[in-house]
Structure 1
Amino acid sequence: MTEHQPGGHMAAEIDQQPAIFADLVSRRAEIAAVAEAIRGRAPRFVLFAARGSSDHAALYAKYLTEVLLQLPAGLVSPSTTTLYGARPDLRDVLLVTVSQSGGSPDLLEVTQSARERGALTVAVTNTPESELNGVAEMSVDVGAGVEHAVAATKTYSATLLALYLMVDAVRGGSGAEVAGIGELARAALDGSVDPVEEAVRRYRFVDRVLTTGRGYSLPSALEAALKLAETSYLAARAYSGADLLHGPVAAVDAETAVLAVTSAGLGGDALHDVLDVVHGRGADVVAVGSAAEKAPAALRIPVPETAEEVAPILEILPVQRLAHGLALARGGDPDSPRGLNKVTRTR
């Protein structure tokens, strides 16, 4: 048996993403069929249920729903159902449950309860045979394949793409903005090797990292903080750029490492002034994204430019590489973070 190399699974799964994206786009018709059923029910409100990395993907879908579909959207608090027994009237509501494993008991209960209360339920999972798929009325297969590393990489990004394809199809789109996403993902990974290595050198000995983004990039900042915390055991905290200036910026100084996710568009434009303030306070800023070259930062990790609503699918890729590199540089194994399991069961 071949001895496991620390981080080998995570590295391989990061590298698989361009091919996974291309395959998922080729299966757009399957997702469009689900979207057509959603259109037929004409929901007036959309709820998303998720945990962990999937919760960040759900937040991304919330932005897509509110901006592209012009529908109000919210994130479910599962404990209101599982612990407190809330049973709201969910007629004319679409509930999308996002779960890589499809096995968390609280998400199963939320989905079953919502269906009983009149919601149209859709499961977005990487496990087509999961119990969640049996509970929900319809399902979308993320199609990322088995993920061996505990830290989610390919399942997270593929979930983003699946959610985008679904929302885009609901609005009558053709998926044109992601037609070449596989090639762009390969360019993002190949083009970020050197700056990611430099970021690993800069961040190797830090203890505290602040991540930030605006708009569509906020979920990427949240996912970045989670990846750094679970693989490198850093004290990582994510803030919206808007919230950062409301108080937390007082804690920013020359000892603070700041990872800013900034892509071309309104969100990136809005973050620029925030980074001016942070950079002016002496923080060591690393900017990631298609607007990184314009950001006031000590180091920039650019990715190819896309429509702003698609950017999170690409901008997270070098962040995953950074988390992987930092974990190894700090003596850890990002495939098996201490105290974590692949499937977390909560209620």
Structure 2
Amino acid sequence: MTDETPGRHMSAEIAQQPEVFAAVTGSRPLIASVGGAIAERRPRFALLAARGSSDHAALYAKYLIEVLLELPAGLVSASTTTLYNAKPDLHDVLYISVSQSGGSPDLIEATAAARDRGALTVAVTNNPDSELARAAELSVDVNAGVEKAVAATKTYTATLLALYLLIDSVQGGQGEKAAALPELAAQALSTIDSSVEEAVARYRFVERMVTTGRGYSSATAAEGALKLAETSYLAARAYSGADLLHGPVAAIDSDTGVVAVTSTGKGGEAMRDVVDTVRQRGADVLAVGSAAADVPASSRIVLPETAEEVAPILEVLPLQRLALGLSLARGGDPDSPRGLSKVTKTR
């Protein structure tokens, strides 16, 4: 690819992810030292602050904390601090701020305020020298390297992996379930081209898409919808499979493309009825994940099987490729999405 080739950065950074995963797993001892400090403080519950793709990583971490650590966890609204000046008592609370750049003013301000109010603050960022990392008591380096594409790919998955290793270490784990991810990611990226190309052809002219998943995979659905919206300008919405059946399914018809994330595990099992229902509505369903071959979909992208709690780190890879392919097929350049920049500053 030349320097002017549309999507060159996004394509290259998708391909770099096996190497990035190896770097993140190699830094597990440093991440585990932060996990050990969290365990010593014995937090009562956890709060997570993030924006954009990092918000989906925080949603993934919420499931990890609630399932693996059995602690209540919630996603915070930074604006309650930055706009409304709320001052909750956060003593004995774990407050994790997730930001690829570490430069969003609202997250920096909210993290500093949480620390002042007694929280144990941890910044998870791809910029260890950022203001966010300095604002927090502890920090975890995502270790993804410089990302040039506007649409986050390798920084998103590296953040997921870093969060898994962090939370696993809090419970005394050694990261065993993530050890094979570099190899599995390379395997996945080398085998999904034809399935992704088929999906691009199917959805090239669609204007409305829904992404859906259950459990850990809810984060994948959310990130997939964001990638489709920001690179291909599709009207893409993400729903938990459960929430989809509680109303939005009424809007699904034969003009709707549905991406169902279905990996081996309890979340994937719960998606069977969801996929069957949307198929009955006439939707064209693309199943993505290690259990994709076992659901009644129109087309499938099957991925290697992993433990359910690390499946989202692989699940999003074909959705990144799908977003890239659709953007190019529709005449766009995913490296230069209109109205977006690499660092978005909000308050």
The TM-score bracket by the shorter chain reads: over 0.9
Determine the structure 2 residue equivalent to 1:192. 192
- Are 1:274 and 2:274 counterparts? yes
8 Å Cα contact 1:24/1:143 also seen in 2: yes
8 Å Cα contact 1:290/1:303 also seen in 2: yes
Give matches, 1:1-347, under 5 Å.
Answer: 3-347=3-347
* RMSD across aligned positions (CA): 0.6
8 Å Cα contact 1:22/1:180 also seen in 2: no
Q: Secondary structure at the match of 1:285?
A: strand
Mapped to 1, the partners of 2:211 and 2:157 lie a distance apart of: 18
Residues 299-337 of structure 1, C-alpha deviations (whole Å, 9 max, x = no match):
000110000000000000010000000000000000110
Gaps spanning 5+ residues in structure 2: where? none
TM-score by length of 2: 0.99
Mapped to 2, the partners of 1:58 and 1:318 lie a distance apart of: 21
Give the residue type in structure 2 aligned to 1:6. P
Gaps spanning 5+ residues in structure 1: where? none
Mapped to 1, the partners of 2:282 and 2:259 lie a distance apart of: 14
Query: C-alpha displacement at 1:295, in angstroms?
Result: 1.2
Query: C-alpha displacement at 1:3, in angstroms?
Result: 3.6
Mapped to 1, the partners of 2:4 and 2:180 lie a distance apart of: 34
Give the residue type in structure 1 aligned to 2:234. L
TM-score by length of 1: 0.99
Mapped to 1, the partners of 2:165 and 2:250 lie a distance apart of: 40
Mapped to 1, the partners of 2:254 and 2:102 lie a distance apart of: 43
Q: How many residues align?
A: 346
- Identity of matched residues, %: 71
Mapped to 2, the partners of 1:156 and 1:320 lie a distance apart of: 11
8 Å Cα contact 1:43/1:93 also seen in 2: yes
Shift >4 Å, 4+ stretches: none
Give the residue type in structure 2 aligned to 1:308. E
Mapped to 1, the partners of 2:158 and 2:187 lie a distance apart of: 17
Q: Secondary structure at the match of 1:74?
A: strand
Q: Secondary structure at the match of 1:152?
A: coil
Residues 197-252 of structure 1, C-alpha deviations (whole Å, 9 max, x = no match):
00000000000001100000000000000000000000001111101111111111
Query: C-alpha displacement at 1:128, in angstroms?
Result: 1.1
Residues 54-98 of structure 1, C-alpha deviations (whole Å, 9 max, x = no match):
000000000000000000000010110000000100000010000
Give the residue type in structure 2 aligned to 1:4. E
8 Å Cα contact 1:124/1:159 also seen in 2: yes
